[in-house]
Structure 1
Amino acid sequence: MISTCKNSSRRLGNYVVALLGCLVLISSCTPVRKLAYFQSASPLDDTLTVASTYVPTIRKGDMLSVQVSSLNAEASNYFNPAAVADNNAPINAATNPLARQTGYLVAPDGSIRLPLIGQLTVAGLTNAAASDLIASKLKIYLKEPTVIVRNTNFRISVLGEVARPSLFTIPNEQITLPEALGLAGDLTIYGRRDNVLVIREEGDKRVFARLDMTRRETFKSPYYSLRPNDIVYIEPGKARATSVDRVYLVAPLVTGILSIIAIIATRP
């Protein structure tokens, strides 16, 4: 009886060792070089000329917040529509109602219509230029008017292998690709950092650009600074498929070992 128990224990030990060996073999390690951002091709490459800062202009279909102030606060309020989010914190447009409040919609002809002033063409102007234009028209009605124009539907989408994929509204209208990934909680361990896809509408075309976030050359790309309605997609790497396959490989092994243990345990 003692000899039988020893043999059974030995066989059980062999199965456990075999199981652990299989787990090691089917496990894969992701090299650090595939995970680290902004790697340098040369140890002396510490300075890089970056792409020029993107300055957004007003486009057809934009929703503008026009904030008017002057020496007469009561008169100024006549020109201000329903309040919109007035801070520099990124807004999750899928969950935050502030991202959906009203303003002045830029018509297909590129114009907006303001109280008393009437129709003004603003498409193609920067926010600063549009502010100056509106302020010049308001001087007839207000004393020393000050105008602040913002685009309240400056939105980007971050999808794929990130911690929190979502649609984000950016009140300050300036965001870079790393900042967008930060809003989405960064890439998961399975996301491909060397093949980040940025989808952008340029006129009547849709451009698909790929950036390697593991290289510093990303800073030179015209897609480093994101624009309204850009889509950032993080492609899953091979490790994601491997992790899924690993479940199907390990499950039968574990089931087999447990069955053997059950048989041995129930023997007299």
Structure 2
Amino acid sequence: MRKIFLYNSYLVLFLFVISFSFFSCDTTKKVKYFQDIPDSGRLNTILKSEYIEPTIKVDDILNIFIQTIDPQATISINAANVPLSTSGSVSTPALNTVTPTGYLVNKEGFIELPVLGKLNVLGYTTSQLRDSITKIAAAKYFKDPTVIVRFANFRVNVTGEVLKPGQYVMPNEKVSIIDALAMAGDLTIYGKRENVLLIRENADGTKTPYRVNLTRSDIMSAPYYYLKQNDVIYVEPRKAKSDANDASQARYVTIAASLLSILIILATRLK
């Protein structure tokens, strides 16, 4: 009788371990990125995505700084990029503020800089505009100027099943979808990693949707891997968030069933 009891106990414990492992592996698979990359062995090189510099559009806000030997010579240009402190002096650049400061590109595609005048910037990249301003500034006004041009409103919206949904101002122009998701705290366990929606605004105002599969490594060579201004990333929830819930509930049911079986066997043995 004792052997039967031990046999039944070991059988219940074995079934419990197998069931727990099954549900754990199933849940891990659903939240794992880049599943096509093997855990061991020789790993293949992933092709890179072509990075295309974003161009300046109407209503963009630009931070433009000009540095010279004499800081006072360009203070009127640089002051427009940053808020004033209580003492009236220029503070450090506020590139990640909710309301960015800088030079607004008007409806005709122009900005107006103190001293340098009105400049057409529409369709330029920031590097092209930097070179253009450097030539103008060096030719007429300043000696050996150093020019910095950055987007002050390179925003990306991340919403849906992420830990910190919201609008993010990116610290640089070369930012990937992985960077944006990391800034938003990564996907929750309920997010669909195999079907993330990216919505991109075109030059004519239309929008193009893309479907992104984070479980595959080839997204790192896709044309939408690097983000553009005003991209929207939406992480869809799994069906009624039931996949993760079901896995969790199944583990509890398995544990409860195993404990109940052991109690029944013990009660039978004691009788």
Which residue number in structure 2 is paired with residue 240 of structure 1? 241
Q: Percent identity between the aligned chains?
A: 38
Q: Which residue of 2 aligns with 1:65?
A: 63
Report the AA paired with residue 123 of structure 1. Answer: L
Give, in angstroms, the shift of residue 150 of structure 1. 0.8
Name the aligned partner's letter for residue 229 of structure 1. Answer: N
Give the deviation of 1:78 after TM superposition: 2.2
State whether residues 68 and 146 of structure 1, in contact with CA within 8 Å, keep that contact through their aligned partners in structure 2: yes
Q: Counterpart amino acid of 1:191? A: G
Pick aligned residue for 1:38 from 34, 41, 63:
34
TM-score (norm 1): 0.72
Residue 73 of structure 1 aligns with an amino acid whose one-letter code is P
Q: Secondary structure at the match of 1:100?
A: coil
* Structure 1 residues 118-267: aligned runs within 5 Å: 118-139=117-138, 140-204=140-204, 205-238=206-239, 240-241=241-242
CA distance in 2, matches of 1:149, 1:104: 11
Q: 1:217 to 1:87 in 2, by over 3 A?
A: farther
**One-letter identity of the residue aligned with 1:215:** R
Partners in 1 of 2:213 and 2:223 — Cα distance? 13
1:213 to 1:128, Cα distance in 2 relative to 1, 3 A: same
Q: Structure 1 CA distance, aligned partners of 2:229 and 2:42?
A: 36
Q: Secondary structure at the match of 1:33?
A: helix
Q: Provide structure 1 residue ranges, at least 5 long, that are not aligned to the other structure.
A: 1-23, 92-97, 247-268
The yes-or-no answer on 1:74 pairing with 2:72 is yes
For 1:58 and 1:82, the matched residues in 2 are separated by: 17
Change (3 A) 1:99 1:54: farther
Asked if the contact 2:194–2:213 (Cα under 8 Å) also holds between the matched residues in 1, the reply is yes
**Two-structure CA RMSD over aligned residues (Å):** 3.0
- Structure 2 residue runs without a partner (length 5+): 1-18, 84-91, 248-271
In 2, Cα distance between equivalents of 1:60 and 1:44? 48
C-alpha distance after superposition, 1:152-207 (max 9, x if no partner): 00000100001110100013122111111111111111100000110001123201
Aligned to 1:54: 52
